[in-house]
Amino acid sequence: MHKPTVPQPPPARGPRKRTLPMLLGALLLGALLVACGGEESSSEPQSYTYVIDSLSAPQTAAEAVESYGLDVDGKADDSNRGVDNALGSLLATLSSMADLDVASALQAGVDDGSIILLAQLDTPDLEQSDAATVGLYLGANPNPAACADDADTACRLHLQGDASFEISADTPSDTTLSGALESGGFAMGADSAPGTVPFVLPALDDGAEPLQLTLVGARVQVGAVSEDGLAEGVLGGAVPFDEIENTILPLFYEGIADTVATDCSGEAPACCTADSAGAGILEFFDADDDCAVSLEEFSGNFFLSLFLNPDVDLFDDTGAYNPNTDGVNDAMSLGVGFTATGASFAQPQ
């Protein structure tokens, strides 16, 4: 009698070895993924370059806060409720008190090429990115030139999206601000480090040169970015108060002195052409009724002094940038609006 045969399990197999064709296939698949825009290639930042084609300064104190104010000192719980723009409010005040139209002069400088600001956006994606940066530079040597000739009053030939520029040697060495792109807009979060960027105030009297400034504690936000331009931009920063007193106030004074010289060639009490801008200036600033305004009368004016106060504490008692350490406000904040169009320039090294 034969015993039934008991089926035996098959012998255990070791780990399957990859054959050469399988390895080659895996390598080919990886190469295809990278070539088709895989994760590795999408993380590489791309550079987009622009020239600012409009600058907007506030024309009312309310506009300074509501439209152009940013948190320059990082204190959301201060008296400004985290919105800083004291110098912008001063510009608006001078516009109404002294007929000093800084906003129009600022845009005129952009149009005629006396004010050239360049911008560079670096990001791996124009819609969403946690690793985006914006750099701001002083520009020079536009090609084509801003104006066709001396008779051209419209100018803006360098703001058509196809001009080339050079970065001015006067640009500060590090002007890059880090932030993030979300839904096509650039913003700097509360933990984003502010930086140092250039800015230019326009000449306010004939023959004068624009005034180059360096904004400290700078921040920027852009409502919409594209390859071809930037829209709904706001640039904020601050100017040390001693620079306000020594350079910016004299710039403003030259503007009103030029107006007075044009409108007010008579003798007291009929100093000026009736209802002229110069007559309005004398009403506010001519303390001794001599048909002129001195720098001392201008800078010491009571009404002006209400707006001429530092509003942010950005420097310590050694003069180093170290916000909110000694409790002394030492700078005035400034915020302006901007847009930009495409441009080309050699990227900074």
Confidence band of 42 (pLDDT split at 50, 70, 90): low
Please give the pLDDT value at position 208.
82
Q: Say if 53 falls within a structural domain.
A: yes
Q: Is position 251 within any domain? A: no
| Structure confidence by residue, pLDDT tens digits, 207-252 | 788 999 999 999 999 999 999 999 999 999 999 999 999 999 999 9
Q: Which two tokens stand for residue 138?
A: 């002083």
pLDDT of residue 19: 52
Q: What is the pLDDT of residues 275-294, one digit of tens each?
A: 999 999 999 999 999 999 99
Q: Range of 208's domain?
A: 46-245+336-345
Which residues touch 106 (CB under 8 Å, ≥6 apart)? 55, 56, 57, 115, 201, 202, 336
Return the percentage of the chain with pLDDT > 90, whole number. 74
Residues in Cβ contact with 44 at an 8 Å cutoff, skipping those fewer than 6 apart: 124
- Beta strand 164-167 with 344-345 is parallel
Question: What integer is the mean pLDDT of 85-114?
Answer: 92
Question: Which stretches of the chain are DSSP H helices?
Answer: 20-35, 39-42, 61-66, 86-97, 102-112, 241-243, 249-263, 277-285, 295-299, 302-305
Three-class SS of residue 245?
helix
Whether residue 22 is contained in a domain is answered as no
Dihedral sign of CA atoms 278, 280, 286, 288 in order: positive
Report which listed range, 97-111, 168-182, 226-240, 299-313, is most confident.
226-240
Q: How far is CA 149 from the centre of its chain?
A: 29
Token pair for residue 246? 């020594």
Amino acid 5: pLDDT:
46
Is residue 37 domain-resident?
A: no
Predicted pLDDT at 349: 66
> What percent of the chain is predicted at pLDDT more than 70?
86
The answer as to whether 288 is a domain residue is no
pLDDT digits (tens, 9 = 90+) for 123-147: 999 999 999 999 999 999 999 999 9
Q: What is the mean pLDDT of the chain?
A: 88
Q: With 70 as the cut, is the pLDDT of residue 323 above it? A: yes
pLDDT digits (tens, 9 = 90+) for 111-123: 999 999 999 999 9
Asked if 108 contacts 152 with a C-beta cutoff of 8 angstroms, the reply is no
Tell me, what's the pLDDT at 36? 44
**Residue 22 confidence class, pLDDT cut points 50, 70, 90:** low
Q: Is the pLDDT of residue 168 over 60?
A: yes
Kindly state the tokens that stand for 82.
Answer: 């985290």
Residue of higher predicted confidence among 344 and 33: 344
State residue 30's pLDDT score: 47
Q: How many domains does the chain have?
A: 1
pTM recorded for the entire structure: 0.85
pLDDT recorded at residue 100: 86
Question: Has residue 129 been placed in a domain?
Answer: yes
In a domain, 236, yes or no: yes
Strand 46-56 and strand 117-123: the pairing is antiparallel
Average pLDDT over residues 97-106: 89
pLDDT confidence of residue 79: 64
113 falls within a domain: yes
Residue 44: pLDDT band (50, 70, 90) is confident
Is residue 18 predicted with pLDDT exceeding 70?
no
